[in-house]
Structure 1
Amino acid sequence: GRIEQTVAGLTTDLAAQIKQPGGQIQELLSVLSAQAADLEEIYSLTSYRLAATKAYEAILNDRIGGLRLVRLEGFQGIRGFLGRRMTPALDSCRAFSERLTRLSERITRAGDLMRTQTEMIIQRQNRDLLRSMNSRARQQLRLQQTVERLSVAAVTYYGVGLVGYLAQALPLDVWGWDIKLVKAAAVPGIAFLVWLTIREVKAGLTSDDDDKDAD
């Protein structure tokens, strides 16, 4: 009775949790495991007795049938006499055995529902985790692109400064060149070289990662 009431309440709570989007079943699972353990203990203590009772019933019926008794007029037969006294006990044993079987089936069904619900929860968690990872990957990509642009700008700035410093040693006045124009003309070339260098470095790192994954 106690196990049946607990399993019935557990099934009701499980149905309520399944209907909720964020239902939690960890506590219900521990309760179900405890009830399954109790039921297994009861079964282990009574199974041999129930089996012995069933065997005794078969032996009794076989022995009575082998006697070939003839009922005397006005007297109760031996089969009816024993049946009236033993049938209730045998029926009780059969009912108890069927009760254990039904209860075991209910616990099994509840366990299947919990297992299905747990798998669905894990799938939702994995989906949310993948979404979070994709979002972080996009953020890292945007940050990387921003850093690359800033790196190109910074290196180009220092490169143009170096060109201007070197150009001061040249006879620009004789050639009729302005140092500002020299620096301005150097900007596209330096920026392209810096961008190309960064691209080559990234390609090399990607190739190394692919080789490691292949190994």
Structure 2
Amino acid sequence: MTDPVPPTGKDTRHPGFLNRIHQSNKQYLPQWLGVPAHIHHVAYRMANPPVERPNSRREFQHLLQALDISEGAIEEKFGYGFKTAPNGDRLVVVWEAHTEYYSYQVWHVVHDATSPLDFGPITFPGYAMPLSPLGLRVNALDILFVPQAPPSEAELPARLPGAMVYGSRIVGDEIVAVTSFTPDEYDRERYLVCSVSEQALRQQVAKIVDTIVAIENYYHLVMLPMKAFSRAVDQIHDFEQRHLYQRSVLIEQLSGTTPQTMQKWLTVLTQDLLQVSRLAESMRYRLSASVPYDRIVQSNMASLQERPYGSLRRLSEYVSWKITGVTEGYQQLLQRIDAMEKDFEATVAVLRTHIELRLQEQNIGLQDQNMKLLASVDSTTRAQAILQRTVESLSVIVITYYLTGLGSYVLKACYEMGWLKNATVATAVFVPIAFGISFTLMTVGRKIIVKRMAHSTKDGAGH
């Protein structure tokens, strides 16, 4: 929707990695900037940068359309557009996406250096912010660049809200920057940058804006998780006290505790470990970038090359007062959380080992009981087998006795009828036959019973 601004001069370098990392994406922007200038800056933190960064780019395109801006350029993470009013004033809108946040800058560059500029809404003809950007607002700035002598210290409180005003001479002795670090009625922090040398101010305006914006953005990003940090400090303190009590109970009662009770302890400790792990992941995500952000703030403060201005405190004094020790506190909290997580893991591991040892002891005891029971069952089975054999033998004798008695009656009848010569001899001969018949009956009967029991067992298993 916007046409790229053609580069000034001829660039014969071939596109490549080294060219891209050394070539600034703002190389064509400074020619549209200038002084006097009234600048609004606002930065928004992205909750999901891979998704919200392209969305912010599309949002910027819609913003340019709404402002009827057709000149400019848009790249992957940087874009700008500009237009000129009939009175010669210039409106420049800049969008830039970073790792964790994206920002807008609206510049009103005044054509007539004698036109008065003041804090508050942008006074470019017909300008109004047509949309509400996405994300959590990190900070908002209202910056004035005016080529005039700085106001006296007595006049500053009337233009800058707050109880304390800070000021420094920056990037040399000719430029003065003052602020109160206090939001005004529009929720913007005001910066007044002055110099009697319009040329010096014009040469440094882009650098000063970038430096102030970087300091404010990253300073606020460092301070942004402070509430979550305070809550996490209280939470980790509670976990430390809780775990101290849990360990004292374990030391006192572990030796005489049943595995069931230890299992309940293990459940509670595991739940606490999960909560601490969740807290650790959350705080690592929130606080891990605080150290590099703090270094960015410090390096940009150094690049301002501050010198005292009157009796005002330097800008760096306020920033250092706010963030000194903050990143160290964040890192100490992460170390406490890591230590707490390791303590829970160690306690859980010890408790699991004790439970396994107790269960092994119980299993060994059960194995001994089972072995004794098996030995007892084996001896009982043997006795039952011997008894069964004895009963079967007696049964054979009894059946033989009864068969012999029945056979003797038959043989005596045959003797009386003259069919046999001697009934006694015949009875004696019949005794072995009766024994064989009895043994056969017992053997066949046992096989039939065993077969029926096997069939009944298979039928029960099938159902």
Report the TM-score when normalising by structure 2: 0.37
What SS does the aligned partner of 2:288 have? helix
Q: Structure 2: how far apart are the matches of 1:120 and 1:88?
A: 48
Question: How far is 1:208 from its partner?
Answer: 4.2
Question: How far is 1:187 from its partner?
Answer: 1.9
Contact 1:10–1:28 (8 Å) recurs in 2? no
Question: How far is 1:148 from its partner?
Answer: 0.7
Contact 1:156–1:194 (8 Å) recurs in 2? yes
| Stretches of structure 2 lacking an aligned partner (at least 5 in a row) | 1-243, 307-316
Select 2:422's aligned residue among 177, 187, 199.
177
What SS does the aligned partner of 1:152 have? helix
Contact 2:399–2:438 (8 Å) recurs in 1? yes
- The match for 2:379 is 135
| Stretches of structure 1 lacking an aligned partner (at least 5 in a row) | 14-26
- The match for 2:411 is 167
**Structure with greater strand percent:** 2
Q: Deviation string for 1:139-195 (max 9, x for gaps)?
A: 22111111111111111111221122223323369765253x443332222112101
Segment drifting more, 156-165 vs 108-117: 108-117
Question: How far is 1:94 from its partner?
Answer: 2.6
Select 2:283's aligned residue among 45, 53, 64.
53
Q: Structure 2: how far apart are the matches of 1:6 and 1:184?
A: 89
The answer to whether structure 1 residue 4 and structure 2 residue 234 are counterparts is: no
When residues 63 and 171 of structure 1 are mapped into structure 2, their CA distance, relative to the original with a 3 A threshold, is same
**What are the residue-to-residue correspondences of 1:34-183 with 2, within 5 Å?**
34-69=264-299, 81-82=325-326, 85-86=329-330, 88-171=332-415, 177=422, 179=424, 181-183=425-427
- AA partner of residue 167 (structure 1): L
Greater relative contact order, per chain length (Cα 8 Å cut-off, separation 6+):
1
What SS does the aligned partner of 2:436 have? helix
CA RMSD of aligned residues (A): 3.4
Q: Structure 2: how far apart are the matches of 1:4 and 1:47?
A: 19
When residues 189 and 3 of structure 1 are mapped into structure 2, their CA distance, relative to the original with a 3 A threshold, is same
**Structure with greater helix percent:** 1
Question: How far is 1:104 from its partner?
Answer: 1.6
Q: Structure 1: how far apart are the matches of 2:357 and 2:254?
A: 9
Question: How far is 1:213 from its partner?
Answer: 6.0
- The match for 2:155 is none
- The match for 1:20 is none
Segment drifting more, 110-119 vs 158-167: 110-119
Contact 1:10–1:32 (8 Å) recurs in 2? no
What SS does the aligned partner of 2:258 have? helix
Segment drifting more, 100-109 vs 3-12: 3-12
Report the TM-score when normalising by structure 1: 0.71
Name the count of aligned residue pairs. Answer: 197
Q: Structure 2: how far apart are the matches of 1:112 and 1:62?
A: 46
Q: Structure 1: how far apart are the matches of 2:457 and 2:380?
A: 22
- The match for 1:22 is none
Larger Rg: 2
Aligned sequence identity (%): 17
Segment drifting more, 198-207 vs 44-53: 44-53
Q: Structure 1: how far apart are the matches of 2:264 and 2:280?
A: 24
Question: How far is 1:32 from its partner?
Answer: 0.7
Q: Structure 1: how far apart are the matches of 2:358 and 2:344?
A: 21
Q: Structure 1: how far apart are the matches of 2:458 and 2:328?
A: 80
Select 2:263's aligned residue among 19, 22, 33.
33
Question: How far is 1:2 from its partner?
Answer: 3.1
- AA partner of residue 169 (structure 1): A
- AA partner of residue 204 (structure 1): I
The answer to whether structure 1 residue 186 and structure 2 residue 416 are counterparts is: no
- AA partner of residue 177 (structure 1): N
